[in-house]
Amino acid sequence: MASLKSLRDSTEGSALAYQQRIAQLEAENERLRKIRDALIQRVESGVDHKPDPYAAFEHSVILAEQVRERTDALNQAMDELKVSNKALNRTRDEAETARQRLEDAIESIADGFVLFDQDQRLVLSNSRFNSYWRMTGEDIQPGESVDEVRAKAVTTGLIVEEYNGSAAEGGVFQLSNGRWVQMTERTTREGGLVVLYSDITDVKNSETARREKALADKSRLLQATVDNLSQGVVLVNPDGRPEIWNDRFLNLTGLASDQITTDCNLKALMAGAAVPLLHPGSARRGSSQYLEQVHRRIDGTVVEVKTHPMPDGGFVNTYTDITERYQYAETLEESERWIRVVTDHVPALIAYVGADLTVQFCNKVYEAWYGRGRSSLLDMPLDQVHEPELYHRLMPQVRQALAGESVTFELEEDDVRGSRHYMLRSYVPNRDVRGDVVGFFVMIRDITDRRRTAMALEQAYDNLERRVKERTSALTGLNNQLRQEINERAAVEARLRDAKLEAERANLSKTKFLAAVSHDLLQPLNAARLFTSALQEHAFGPKAENLVRSVSTSLDDVENLLGTLVDISKLDAGVIKADVTAFDLRDLLNNLAREFRQMADAEGLSLDFVPSSAVVRTDSQLLARILRNFLTNAIRYTGSGRILLGCRRQRDHVLLQVWDTGPGIPEDKLTEIFQEFKRVQSAARSGDKGLGLGLAIVDKIARILGHEITVDSIEGRGSVFSVRVPLGRLDSNATKEETVFPMPAQDMDGARIWVIDNDLAICQGMQTLLQGWGCDVLTAVSLADLDAQVQVATDRVDVILADYHLDNDEIGVDVVAAINARRQERVPVIMITANYTNELKQDIRDRGYLLMNKPVKPLKLRAALNHILQ
């Protein structure tokens, strides 16, 4: 369009120049004609001035030549003018044709088109643009300026809404007829302006529909997400009306689904609800933290309520059922109370010191010894607990413990009355999961009586030896005196025997006490284990799951440490007796290999196993305990390589061996490793919290069984631990009574299980755990309680879990015997107890029941239930 205008302008300029040139030539020709006429008239009319004829002729010839030249020039100009007129006419025709084509092209455009000249005046517009103005009654004429056109669009109401976004190429307008147009401006080469108005109504409507659909999809997704949350959620707008809520919110607040709508006042509605509605306005000014409260409902459910403000003035409330977590915390507190009760009654000073050398735990005996009238020793530094002189004497051993070494040493110190005592101290380091020492356990025993007895015995023997020598030199004459000395010696020995017997009786009383409290100690640990396992079946989010795993790991450590101490105490007290029978090694070794191969794989080790069908004569449970300790130490101290479990026949014995490729044991330490609290080196695996009692237990069990324990080791290459067991012979006449149980369903879903235990915490923990596996569980504390809940003789039951020790001198085997006596078919029974005696094991075995010892391992319990149900 700009080129056509330029062509038209250049053509018009050339025609104008030709016209001006023609006018100049005509004026010049007219002037020369006048000059010629004047000269001729002068010559002809002038008498006085007439030249001679020749001069006049010559002058006329010159004038004629000049006239001819001017005439030729005029004719040439006239010819050029004709040519220019033809070119001008042709150019005008072409310009008109181009203009017509331009107008046709502009009219064919679907968009509105407006052309302004360099003075911003309207030159040309198409009918599409003019159609926008018909509804306003205005008519846009050529010559109007851009500002005038814009002002008319606003004043006439043509433009309803204007949008100028940074992402848009030009302005976007909504017209009074509801249509949307987009304005695009371009500047011409001469300084003019071309404006296009494109109708984008369809695009705008499509975009609006797409946004509305996306908003609806997001709303549905948000509602679906909220509905699938385990928490109750409600979103409240600034007007106090609910916008989004889920069924869990209704369940925890006690509201009915038909009570709540998006038009109701939620604060007034929840005035009588089971839990309140929190509002962020109750927070301190400037606080951005969550507000939270914990409420216990009438039915015992504990609900945690949190609220958080929204940017628009509304807020969100969440309602979480923390009943199990709350009960679990109470169980942990109860377990801690029992642990403190046990430690407070142990006749030894027990404490735990952190890496910062502050006392973080101590029992009453420790507090009474070092308290010196202070209210508490917790969080007190060691240099304030002990006198300066004693503190400096203890520091070398404290540094050894913090370096990861177990230390046992004797030290003299005075009590509050100034009496001198001999104290046997043991420092055992405590490591975290990364293997770093975070503190150490302290156990202090007063060995003053034992030390004095030993000193008195040594002094008595010295005196006796001296007296014997003196009397021997005068034997011939001092027979009567010799008899008197012999009597004195006998009296001294009798007193020494009495003192030694008293010391042994005191030590035996301590070990029997630890062995006797194992049942009461394992009860809360058993409940805590069940609740922890039940929690691990649920998903609470990464943070809560890490907390549950940490608690489970801590319970494992406490269980292993206390179990080891109780086992040592039982062995020392003579509670454990051997139940020697002949049996095939095949099942024992297969089970051990299968159990420890998984542990070895988890540590990146290879466990090889050589099976054997040899028949040996020993206690299978105690032999399994020896092999388990061998395998546990092999995995614990082997950094990389392999472990081998197998046996060799040697005449009338079988040598059961465990080989490893660990760091080996120095030759001078081969006997020391079987002593209590002795650990030659740190375990290769991080997080080891052993007390150095495993091989001490092996040594005591071997003495009970009369088996020989041997160890061979090469430093840097590995070790082999062996136990020599006599061969046996199976009794072909012995028949094993098989108990036939009814065949229940193939899985645990819907299995009906009765749990009988006098501890309500264990009942609740067992119910939570079994219900998490899909079982239908009924709990009772006694047979009478069970009778009050079900028809014992006829109601369906698949398995009975019963505790051996119940209240009021009632025992579990009598309860389940009374239940089976009423029923037509016997119900399978799993008997649970903390009693490890052989007599009880044999009694349970003879009755055809399965036996599980406390604390119950959830995986072992699940395997036993699957075995019975399938």
| Full 3-state SS string of 684-696 | CCCCCCCCCCHHH
Return the top range by mean pLDDT from 203-207, 216-220, 681-685, 709-713: 709-713
**Mean of pLDDT over the chain:** 77
563-576 pLDDT, tens digit each? 555 665 666 656 66
- Asked if residues 461 and 469 have their Cβ atoms less than 8 Å apart, the reply is no
Q: Are residues 182 and 295 in the same domain?
A: no
User: Alpha carbon of 53 to those of 56, 60, 65, 68, 349: distances in Å?
Assistant: 5, 10, 18, 22, 169
Rounded-to-integer distance, Cα 580 and Cα 624, Å: 13
Q: Are residues 148 and 94 in the same domain?
A: no
Helix (H/G/I), strand (E/B), else coil: 259? coil
* pLDDT for residue 307: 87
Q: Are residues 268 and 349 in the same domain?
A: no
Q: Is residue 42, in this structure, part of any structural domain at all?
A: yes
Q: Are residues 707 and 603 in the same domain?
A: yes
Domain count, the chain: 7
* pLDDT for residue 740: 39
Boundary of a domain, candidates 406, 424, 446: 446
Rounded-to-integer distance, Cα 247 and Cα 232, Å: 7
Question: How many other C-beta atoms can be found within 10 angstroms of the C-beta atom of residue 832?
Answer: 24
Cite the beta strand spans of 137-281 per DSSP E: 159-163, 172-175, 180-187, 193-199, 232-236, 242-245
Token pair recorded at residue 815: 């309860």
- Asked if residues 727 and 654 have their Cβ atoms less than 8 Å apart, the reply is yes
Rounded-to-integer distance, Cα 694 and Cα 325, Å: 35
Q: Is residue 570, in this structure, part of any structural domain at all?
A: no
The residue that leads in pLDDT, 390 or 131, is 390
Q: Are residues 403 and 492 in the same domain?
A: no
* Torsion, CA 378, CA 383, CA 387, CA 388, rounded to 10: 180
Tell me phi and psi for residue 275, to 5 degrees. Answer: -130, 155
308-331 pLDDT, tens digit each? 888 888 888 888 888 887 877 777
* pLDDT for residue 680: 59
Task: For residues 375-397, give the mean pLDDT.
Answer: 87
Lowest-confidence segment of 6-20, 121-135, 438-452, 817-831 by average pLDDT: 6-20
Beta bridge partners of 805: 811
Q: Are residues 270 and 409 in the same domain?
A: no
* pLDDT for residue 1: 46
Confidence of residue 725 (pLDDT cuts 50, 70, 90): very high
Q: For a pLDDT cut of 90, what percent of the chain falls above it?
A: 4
786-805 pLDDT, tens digit each? 888 988 888 898 999 998 88
- Asked if residues 725 and 654 have their Cβ atoms less than 8 Å apart, the reply is yes
- Asked if residues 643 and 607 have their Cβ atoms less than 8 Å apart, the reply is yes
Q: Tell how far CA 847 is from the center of its chain.
A: 47
The residue that leads in pLDDT, 401 or 697, is 401
Q: CB burial class (10 A; 0-12, 13-18, 19+) of residue 359?
A: buried
Confidence of residue 746 (pLDDT cuts 50, 70, 90): very low
Rounded-to-integer distance, Cα 658 and Cα 643, Å: 7
- Of 538, 531, 532, 525, which is closest to residue 551 (Cα–Cα)? 532
- Asked if residues 488 and 466 have their Cβ atoms less than 8 Å apart, the reply is no
Task: For residues 234-251, give the mean pLDDT.
Answer: 85
Assign 3-class secondary structure to 361-381: EECHHHHHHHCCCCCCCCCCE
User: Alpha carbon of 680 to those of 403, 433, 665, 674: distances in Å?
Assistant: 14, 21, 8, 10
Pairing relationship of beta strands 776-780 and 752-756 according to DSSP bridges = parallel
Q: Are residues 611 and 696 in the same domain?
A: yes
How many alpha carbons lie under 13 Å from residue 128 in its C-beta half-sphere?
Answer: 18
Rounded-to-integer distance, Cα 329 and Cα 769, Å: 16
- Residue 747 pLDDT more than 70? no
Helices 448-473 and 479-516 cross at an angle (nearest 10°) of 160
User: Alpha carbon of 378 to those of 369, 370, 457: distances in Å?
Assistant: 14, 12, 41
Pairing relationship of beta strands 581-584 and 193-199 according to DSSP bridges = unpaired
- Asked if residues 731 and 842 have their Cβ atoms less than 8 Å apart, the reply is no
User: Alpha carbon of 560 to those of 552, 554, 564, 689: distances in Å?
Assistant: 12, 10, 6, 9
Q: Is residue 743, in this structure, part of any structural domain at all?
A: no
Confidence of residue 741 (pLDDT cuts 50, 70, 90): very low
Token pair recorded at residue 659: 């080989």
* pLDDT for residue 726: 93
User: Alpha carbon of 294 to those of 237, 316, 326: distances in Å?
Assistant: 24, 16, 10
Rounded-to-integer distance, Cα 471 and Cα 478, Å: 7
Question: How many other C-beta atoms can be found within 10 angstroms of the C-beta atom of residue 230?
Answer: 12
Rounded-to-integer distance, Cα 156 and Cα 159, Å: 8
Q: Are residues 385 and 426 in the same domain?
A: yes
For 551, which DSSP code? H
652-668 pLDDT, tens digit each? 899 999 999 888 888 77
Could you list the residue range(s) of the whole structural domain that residue 363 is in?
A: 322-446
Q: Is residue 231, in this structure, part of any structural domain at all?
A: no
Q: Are residues 796 and 863 in the same domain?
A: yes
* Torsion, CA 125, CA 129, CA 134, CA 140, rounded to 10: -30
Beta bridge partners of 306: 292, 318
Boundary of a domain, candidates 692, 711, 726: 726
Q: Are residues 335 and 282 in the same domain?
A: no
Query: DSSP letters along 592-651, please?
Result: HHHHHHHHHHHTT-EEEE-----EEEE-HHHHHHHHHHHHHHHHHH--SSEEEEEEEEET
Boundary of a domain, candidates 464, 488, 506: 506
Mark 89-113 as b/e (b = at least 16 C-beta within 10 Å).
Answer: eebeeebeebeeeeeeebeeeebbb
Q: Tell how far CA 623 is from the center of its chain.
A: 41
Confidence of residue 77 (pLDDT cuts 50, 70, 90): confident
* pLDDT for residue 427: 92
Q: Is residue 534, in this structure, part of any structural domain at all?
A: no
Place of tokens 């049996």: 583
- Asked if residues 94 and 88 have their Cβ atoms less than 8 Å apart, the reply is no
Q: CB burial class (10 A; 0-12, 13-18, 19+) of residue 778?
A: middle
For 145, which DSSP code? B
Q: Is the peptide bond before 855 cis (omega within 30 degrees of 0)?
A: yes
Q: For a pLDDT cut of 70, what percent of the chain falls above it?
A: 79
Q: Is residue 522, in this structure, part of any structural domain at all?
A: no
Rounded-to-integer distance, Cα 348 and Cα 506, Å: 12
Q: Are residues 284 and 326 in the same domain?
A: no
- Residue 734 pLDDT more than 60? no
759-781 pLDDT, tens digit each? 887 888 888 888 888 889 899 98
Q: Is residue 549, in this structure, part of any structural domain at all?
A: no
Rounded-to-integer distance, Cα 359 and Cα 376, Å: 10
- Asked if residues 805 and 758 have their Cβ atoms less than 8 Å apart, the reply is yes
Q: Are residues 243 and 307 in the same domain?
A: yes
819-869 pLDDT, tens digit each? 889 888 888 999 988 776 667 788 888 888 888 877 777 778 888 888 888
What's the CATH number where 350 sits?
3.30.450.20
- Asked if residues 831 and 849 have their Cβ atoms less than 8 Å apart, the reply is yes
Report the alpha-carbon angle 248-251-253, nearest 5.
105
**Residue type present at position 545:** E
The pTM assigned to this predicted structure is 0.35
Token pair recorded at residue 356: 């910062």
Rounded-to-integer distance, Cα 97 and Cα 117, Å: 21
Return the top range by mean pLDDT from 201-205, 377-381, 752-756: 752-756
Contacts of 407 (CB under 8 A, 6+ apart): 397, 400, 401, 425, 426, 427
Q: Is residue 779, in this structure, part of any structural domain at all?
A: yes
